[in-house]
Amino acid sequence: MISHKASKIVLIVSILWSSTSLTQVEASPKQIDSPPEFGCRSTTTDTPLFTQRTTTSQQIGSVNKGGRVLLQESPRKGLQLIAVFEPESEKYGYIQTKVLDFCDSSKKPSNGKPPIAIACRRIRGVANVQYEVYPEPDKNYTPIATVRSGQIVMVRLKPDRSVSSYRNRDLIWIEIDLYKTPMPERYDFSYGETGWIENQDQIGYCDR
């Protein structure tokens, strides 16, 4: 009898733990490990951005009609809200799939405003190729992280909205914001912490 009760307790605890874990994942699309290139989408109307995969969750922002978002998971049938990254506000959240259409790079923003400088970039190139991130723009330092092809990185923008870069021995280095960049859980970078990656023409805009 005691063994039976103990088994029931273990089962209940396991179910509760699993439920809690799923809730945490749903609420934190930023924790997705190096999201692959699922693609760019454009909104067909002004739409809210939610913290969880439900329209009853907290709204953390909105995307204007014609705004672009980057999918953080593969679209699938029956999915009403999907995890996205909104480059202009640099926010991760969930958006209703019914308001999304494929991006058309030939179209200008429907609000008539000029495009603003955004920090979102994507590592291009052969799948699963890794690039080392250094604390300074110099390979004599020990790498502090790695990024791979298909991964989103957030470059650091200077006050004039240009990308922070540095030329060292004919090599161009780009400074990235490690705190805002989606990284595997083994990394724990603090707010404002940055790193440098050599630009071998593998750093492109997120929606291209």
Provide the 3-class DSSP secondary structure of residue 22: helix
CA pair distance 109, 14, nearest whole angstrom: 48
User: Which residue ranges in the chain fall short of pLDDT 50?
Assistant: 2, 10-11, 13, 15-28, 30-37, 105-109, 111-115
- Tell which residue, 122, 105, 86, 90, has the closest CA to residue 203: 122
Question: In CATH, what is the architecture of 120-205?
Answer: Roll (2.30)
Predicted confidence at residue 145, as pLDDT, reads 93
Predicted confidence at residue 143, as pLDDT, reads 94
Residue extent(s) of CATH 2.30.30.40 domains in the chain:
34-102
- The owner of tokens 């934190």 is 28
Would you say 206 and 87 are in contact if contact means Cβ atoms under 8 Å apart?
yes
Q: Which residues pair with 196 in a beta bridge?
A: 134, 175
Predicted confidence at residue 134, as pLDDT, reads 95
Predicted confidence at residue 191, as pLDDT, reads 85
- Tell which residue, 125, 120, 105, has the closest CA to residue 208: 105
Question: Within 13 Å and on the Cβ side, how many CA atoms surround 102?
Answer: 4
Predicted confidence at residue 104, as pLDDT, reads 62
Enter the pTM of the model: 0.53
Q: 34-102: which CATH number, 2.30.30.40, 3.40.30.10, 3.20.20.70, 3.40.920.10?
A: 2.30.30.40
* 164: its two tokens: 């922070």
Predicted confidence at residue 173, as pLDDT, reads 92
Would you say 176 and 156 are in contact if contact means Cβ atoms under 8 Å apart?
yes
Rounded to 5°, the CA angle 162-156-139 comes to 110
* 153: its two tokens: 């990185």
pLDDT averaged over every residue in the chain? 76
